[in-house]
Amino acid sequence: MTEYSSPLPRSPLLSVLRQIGNTAVTLLVTFIGLLAVTFIISRVVPIDPVTSILGERATNAQIEQTREALGLNDPLWQQFAIYLGDTLTGDLGTSIRTREPVLQEVARRFPATLELATLATVLGVLLGVPAGVIAATKPGSWFDQITRLIGLMGYSMPIFWLGLMGLLLFYGHLGWVGGPGRLDAVYQMSYDFDITPYSGMILLDTALNGRWDMFANAFSHIILPAGLLAYISMAYISRMTRSFMMNELGQEYITTARVKGMPEYRVIWVHALKNVMVPLITVVALSYAYLLEGAVLTETIFAWPGLGSYITDALMVADMPAVLGGTVVVGAAYIGLNMLSDLLYRLVDPRARA
């Protein structure tokens, strides 16, 4: 009789290293693809960077000299290679408008957008997930109808109109919230000179510095734009949660659990919701990424000095290095959130770990 030896067990360390290597390669290829898209955009848009720098009255000699200095006369593959190398080393170019490195300007603006999007996403999850679960357990009820109506309104109403109406009502007439900007003028001066900026996020910095009066003022300014963005996020999250839960509640293991006499709250909030968490992580990550780059109108209406308003202002004056640098940062945030959601899959779903 021929004996067959069992295959050698795979080393856990090698498996982990292989997964890390695959993830790193995927991340690098995706980021290079993002840079290629931004490079193509910079060459396709009908904006001459030399004219933006020198103005329309520049002579032909000045234009040619500047094009040579910027490397615009080199072959496209060589220009992309230089652009790729600079970006991977952290050089996003110099802003035409301010003559400052784009990376420094983005680093100053991004915490404001991160703070706004994070608070909006937290509120959206805290409100959207329970609403979607309850609506799925009572299909056709008044609560389900209201949840679906709120979601439909969140998809239909323009965010700029909601922002203007919110300012008019809650700031102009009722005075319940702060106005545009992140702080009142007197607190802004104190923040600039008296506060240690640990993160650039005002709520966190003021709390760490023990300035609770400034924290309250900052909260009054952020709650309205964050609430509007949270409403948009909640509409999407509640709708998807309801759809996932209704599909899950029709599975056989749910019927079995109910027949065995398991309490209804445990069937819904433990077993069904646990299996919904994997697709729900993707929904929350996409919603968060959308708020990081899609809050342009909100930041414009509320004079919020974030990344969205920075890209918009740069686009208005044809400051392409700033526009492309901000776009690269937003794309990198998308990639990072996708990788984070992939890691969370492995924590939530044992099958993904296997």
Do 196 and 60 belong together in one domain? no
CA distances from 176 to 166, 170, 171, 219 (A): 11, 5, 6, 11
Domain boundary among 60, 88, 116: 88
In terms of domains, do 77 and 115 share one?
A: no
> How big is the CA angle at 295 (ends 277 and 323), to the nearest 5 degrees?
120
Domain assignment present for 73: yes
pLDDT at residue number 222: 92
Tokens of 133: 């679960």
User: What are the C-alpha distances in Å from 144 to residues 26, 228, 343?
Assistant: 41, 22, 33
What is the rounded distance in angstroms from the CA atom of residue 268 to the CA atom of residue 266? 5
Cα separation, 179 vs 119, in Å, equals 18
115 domain-assigned = yes
Residue 137 falls within a domain, yes or no?
yes
The answer on pLDDT for 226 being more than 60 is: yes
Indicate whether 77 and 195 sit together in one domain: no
* Helices of type H across the chain: 12-44, 49-54, 60-70, 76-88, 102-137, 142-156, 159-166, 185-194, 202-208, 212-249, 252-259, 264-266, 273-294, 296-301, 307-316, 320-348, 350-353
What is the pTM (predicted TM-score) of this model?
0.81
**pLDDT surpassing 60 at residue 1:** no
Does 84 share its domain with 143? no
- 80 and 201 together in one domain: no
The first and second tokens of residue 225, run together, are: 């734009």
**What pLDDT, in 10s, does the model give residues 271-284?**
888 888 888 888 88
- The stretch 54-81 carries a mean pLDDT of 74
pLDDT, tens digit (0-9, with 9 covering 90-100), for 286-337: 888 888 766 777 888 888 888 888 888 888 777 788 888 888 888 888 888 8
> For residue 102, is it within any domain?
no
In this structure, the answer to whether residues 138 and 281 fall within a common structural domain is yes
At residue 291, the pLDDT reads 83
Same domain, 208 and 135: yes
Assess if residue 224 is contained within a domain.
yes
Last residue of a domain, one of 88, 116, 137: 88
The pLDDT value given to residue 294: 60
Do 141 and 210 reside in the same domain of the chain?
Answer: yes
Same structural domain, 32 and 118: no
CATH of the domain at 273: 1.10.3720.10
In a domain, 334, yes or no: yes
If asked whether residues 178 and 47 sit together in one domain, one would say: no
In angstroms, the CA 322 to CA 319 distance is 6
Which of residues 24, 57, 88 is at a domain's end? 88
- Nearest CA among 232, 270, 244, 13 for reference residue 127: 232
Residue 180 located in a structural domain: yes
Please tell me whether residues 143 and 73 are part of one structural domain: no
How far apart, in whole angstroms, are the C-alpha atoms of residue 14 and residue 37? 35
Q: Give the domain extent around 62.
A: 15-88
In total, how many domains does the chain have? 2
- Report the pLDDT averaged over residues 143-149: 87
Q: What number is the average pLDDT over the span 247-260?
A: 84
Question: Pick from 17, 93, 88, 124: which is nearest to 332 by CA?
Answer: 88
Asked if 282 and 134 sit in the same domain, the reply is yes
| Residue 2: inside a domain | no
Bridge partners, residue 94, by sequence? 101
